[in-house]
């Protein structure tokens, strides 16, 4: 495998993504964790770019690195979080979990580590957004519309659940 720029970029991004993930696990402060994950999300966006999915990459940055992370941070702030997140001491549980994850990872890894399908020429990067748009509005109208309902549901749900009720406001 020759060391091409793409490869370097990939390794860099992958490293950052994984590092972000690892930091998520190892850091103790909740806010830090979220920040660490922003890096992951960003580098995933980078990965998307490498995969000629510019639109997705942009969406990723907007939604994940932007919206979701900020919403989460708001969530943390609103819930007056304990500064640090001390993992509960569950020795056996954690070991089992690690074993399970290891087993899972190995099993999947066996399947994919050398899965290299001969690359067929594809022109995904050309007018990527347009391609997506055409696809979305020709084939996937129905899920798209359902998605709108879903977002409405999420909206309503978020309001219903997170809204401070009047009477409760009075009490507090």
- Within 88-147, which residues bind another protein (CB under 8 A)? 88, 93-94, 96-101, 103-117, 119-122, 124, 128, 131-132, 134-143, 146-147
By CB atoms closer than 10 A (0-12, 13-18, 19+), residue 10 is middle
CB 76 within 8 A of CB 21: no
Smallest separation (angstroms) from another protein to the CB of 38: 10
Residues 6-25, one symbol each (x = binds another protein by CB under 8 A, - = not), give xx--x---x--xx--xx-xx
Of 25-64, binders to another protein (CB under 8 A) are 25, 30, 33-34, 37, 40-41, 44, 47-48, 50-53, 55-56, 59-60, 63-64
DSSP secondary structure letter of residue 124: -
Size of the residue set binding another protein (CB under 8 A): 108
112 in the Ramachandran plot: left (φ > 0), alpha (ψ -120 to 50) or beta?
Answer: alpha
């Amino acid at each position: 495998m020759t060391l091409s720029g793409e490869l370097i970029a990939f390794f860099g991004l992958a490293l950052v993504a994984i590092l972000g993930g690892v930091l998520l696990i190892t850091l103790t402060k909740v806010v830090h964790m979220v920040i660490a994950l922003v890096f992951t999300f960003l580098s995933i966006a980078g990965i998307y770019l490498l995969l000629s999915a510019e639109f997705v990459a942009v969406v990723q940055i907007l939604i994940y690195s932007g919206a979701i992370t900020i919403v989460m941070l708001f969530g943390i702030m609103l819930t007056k979080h304990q500064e640090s997140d001390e993992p509960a001491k569950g020795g056996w549980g954690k070991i089992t979990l690690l074993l399970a994850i290891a087993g899972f990872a190995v099993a999947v890894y066996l399947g994919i580590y050398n899965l290299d399908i001969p690359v067929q020429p594809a022109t995904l990067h050309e007018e990527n957004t347009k391609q997506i748009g055409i696809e979305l509005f020709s084939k996937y109208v129905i899920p798209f519309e359902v998605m709108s309902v879903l977002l409405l549901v999420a909206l309503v749900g978020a309001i219903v659940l997170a809204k401070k009720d009047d009477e409760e406001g009075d009490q507090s």
